[in-house]
Structure 1
């Protein structure tokens, strides 16, 4: 049986690792992109051994212009892309210096654009391919003190909607998963009391877990979602909807 390869950017983070585990369990082989967290990728490779697929780590700094080239040079056969790289940005708009903003835009907007552009011929070579972006609830609603992050995630959502229309006749589906509050390192700066208050704001009464995001990503990559494209799927427990 031919292997189906999926590229996951940001595979060393909490959501990225869960996506990798879910896809490996479903029989995919993976390109596992990371930048600085090599220990996390090593641990992930050990965890995935039992699934007997092919798992290829690729280091690249996607906050830099040359990062896309470094990443794409390691990609051969390809059936799907999960655009998952990102950083959290907390603070007032006046808090951010120019370098931080420019690197964030490169990581969240420019690099995903060029990754898709450069890898599109490989996706078109397959009968059915898919792209899934992991965005955020803040890209749908916006958040004070997260203006930069909201801007980037909103841009990703618009990218998904536009790209899906452009690629539909090529047989390539493009969707996004927009998580709400998820139990990852992004929430590590909050106290237990703050997390408890946050949970109370969510209609389902709890914070989500990375596995719940991963299962939706896997569904959107699969043939079960063969007639779904251009959608931003909120996975948020009913929060801010």
Structure 2
């Protein structure tokens, strides 16, 4: 028996508490809404834009759940500890952590500065480490947890002119697989979602022609949506997904197989 039993309704995450980092817009916002739709109370973390985060919380509350916003730079240990402690005081022990916050970088490796490399690694790899380390004692005590990390197809396959980004997201995949082995005996699953080309601000640097070409190169014939990623995250968060751990689920429309 798991610590959380799905209710006899269409809301399998009822009475569970989730933290989503970087949830004020884009994929993170869609994930927060998806978890709320499934019945979870949601902590919406943001770094800068409080107004956008609150608008996401308002949408979540329409599903008759509690939703709060908490500011934190999740690449900073003090901020992360405050985020987890505040969320726990407000909701109780978190059952779901989604490490979504991250940044992108496009350019030749030769042109990349050491400062840019460090910033990318801090945002994309150090932040999931800090958040996971802070939340694990709570999950271990209750012998239940769902940790879901956001990677990328470039973490799987590597992307030209995205060497640092690919390296950081590949590190997320390695961390996911290793931690899943550590946490399995504690009833905690650790998985990653590695999206393909998703129509968000991260593709804002591409022209309409480039976006059209990318859609045509994707076997399903379209770019992904934030909701496509949110659906994958919600699936991995379910109590019934207890035998899935150390896995990389890649909603990419067949672009990478």
| Structure 2: distance between partners of 1:66 and 1:91 | 32
Q: Secondary structure of 2:18's match?
A: strand
What are structure 1's unaligned runs of at least 5 residues? none
Indicate conservation of the 8 Å contact 2:150/2:192, yes or no: yes
Q: Is 1:166 equivalent to 2:178 in the alignment?
A: no
Q: Is 1:60 equivalent to 2:72 in the alignment?
A: yes
1:136 counterpart residue number: 152
Give the drift of 1:128.
Answer: 2.7
What is the number of residues matched between the two proteins?
241
User: Could you list the per-position Cα deviations for residues 42-95 of structure 1 after superposition, in whole angstroms to 9, with x for gaps in the alignment?
Assistant: 211221221221112111112445432342332312101001010111111122
Give the drift of 1:229.
Answer: 0.5
2:62 counterpart residue number: 50
Give the drift of 1:107.
Answer: 1.5
| Structure 2: distance between partners of 1:107 and 1:115 | 11
Q: Secondary structure of 2:250's match?
A: strand
Matches within 5 A, 1:207-218: 207-218=223-234
Indicate conservation of the 8 Å contact 2:24/2:53, yes or no: yes
Matches within 5 A, 1:25-40: 25-40=37-52
Matches within 5 A, 1:50-199: 50-76=62-88, 77-199=93-215
What are structure 2's unaligned runs of at least 5 residues? 1-6, 8-13
Indicate conservation of the 8 Å contact 1:64/1:107, yes or no: no
Superposed CA RMSD? 1.5
Give the drift of 1:97.
Answer: 2.0
| Structure 1: distance between partners of 2:48 and 2:113 | 22
Indicate conservation of the 8 Å contact 2:104/2:120, yes or no: no
| Structure 1: distance between partners of 2:139 and 2:66 | 18
Report the TM-score, using the length of structure 2 for normalisation. Answer: 0.89
